[in-house]
Amino acid sequence: MISLVDLTAQYHSIKDEIDAAVLSTLESGHFILGPQVVKFEESVAAYLGVKHAVGLASGTDALVIALRALNIGVGDEVIIPAYTFFATAGTVMSVGAKPVIVDVDPQSYQIDVSKIEEAVTPKTKAIIPVHLYGHPAEMNPILEIARKHGLKIIEDNAQGYGAEYLGKKTASFGDIGCLSFFPTKNLGAYGDGGMAVTNDPALAERMRMLRAHGWKKKYYSEEVGYNSRLDAMQAAILQAKLPHLDSWNEKRRELSARYTELLAPLDIAVPVEREWAKHVYHLYIIRFEKRDELQAFLKQKGIASEVYYPLPPHLAEPCREFGYKEGDFPHAEKAAKETLALPLYPELTFAQQDEVIAAVKEFTGK
């Protein structure tokens, strides 16, 4: 069986470092926030080239807290891409705002920057570009639109940690960048975890308050906040993994280039990498009209694959209230019916990859 991702393989490759991080945390007696979290926050800020990082309980919480920190709420609108994990829309709705959806580029799956400005209304307060699958969104046009209309930018960088736009790390362009450390991410914890980063000290302070019940001083709540703190164990594990991230991302890029070289002749759409982008391939996404049949065939061969995502947010039940319907965002809807993630993780061997490629070739008859 070839897994979509093998988390144990990564653990065994750096087992001594992970075990030492866990043991040191147990011996420290600090389990919620504390020095391990502060150290990891400082490391992430340095890696991304930002001034402040706030450890949180999940990537979803990072989006919610970012929206709250920017005072986005009832009656406001936030522009998001039509093809993304539902949390991008759901977090906007959770603060009482409306997700205003824009279709995506059919090749990169990033928000179509040529369609953003027409979605701006007097109620628009922010844009959430999503660096989907590890490919950066085209940030300069987004920044220009935001400046022109006085909008905030929250980067959903859950899948793009280490990706670059014009040589600069994603998550460092907007007012706030949001990270996820879900176990399968390029930098993954052994549980849930997230972070929000910013260059604005006031936003950083507000997000630190919001993650801990609205406190500046313990037990003295100044507003309604959350219990959303990155725990020390996860921070220590992530700190041990962080020095390996760039080499892991390069291995993802190497494996992805090999997939692309060998699959492109099969009349299968393979990922693009724009000239201004450094793609970190959180997922390797192919596109094929007979996607479901291919997935079933791979399963028979003992090869895992996954659909990210079978239902665009605008067609999900919670978004019905906004009147979105099938046909509104054709590129997103078509992608939802045709895209498929193939096995990809840094420890995937060429032999395993060859087995995947051979199965795809057999199915296509090429």
Residue 1 lies in a domain: no
Q: Judge if 262 and 163 occupy the same domain.
A: no
Q: How confident is the model at residue 331 (pLDDT cuts 50, 70, 90)?
A: very high
- Using pLDDT thresholds of 50, 70 and 90, give the confidence band for residue 91: very high
Residue where a domain terminates, one of 218, 243, 268: 243
CATH of residue 194's domain is 3.40.640.10
Are 206 and 334 in the same domain? no
* pLDDT tens string 286-318: 999 999 999 999 999 999 999 999 999 999 999
Cis peptide leading into 324, omega within 30 of 0? no
Query: Are 64 and 211 in a shared domain?
Result: yes
> What is the b/e burial string over 7-28, where b = at least 16 CB atoms within 10 angstroms of the residue's CB?
eeebbeeeeebbeebeeebeee
3-state secondary structure of 178: strand
Domain termination residue (choose one: 243, 277, 307):
243
Task: Tell whether 193 and 74 lie within a shared domain.
Answer: yes
Percent residues over pLDDT 70 in the chain: 100
DSSP H/E element including 276: none
Whether residues 219 and 280 share a domain: the answer is no
252 shares a domain with 317: yes
State the average pLDDT over residues 109-132: 98
Domain encompassing residue 77: 7-243
Residues 31 and 157: their CA atoms lie apart, in Å, by 26
147 to each of 90, 110, 168, how far by Cα in Å? 25, 20, 19
Number of domains in the chain: 2
Answer with the one of 225, 243, 261 that is the final residue of a domain.
243
114 and 16 belong to one structural domain: yes
Phi, psi for residue 359 in degrees, rounded to 5: -65, -40
Is residue 22's pLDDT more than 90?
A: yes
The closest alpha carbon to 282, from 153, 181, 145, 155, belongs to 181
Statement to judge: residues 251 and 131 lie in one domain: no
Is 214:224 a contact under the CB 8 Å cutoff?
A: yes
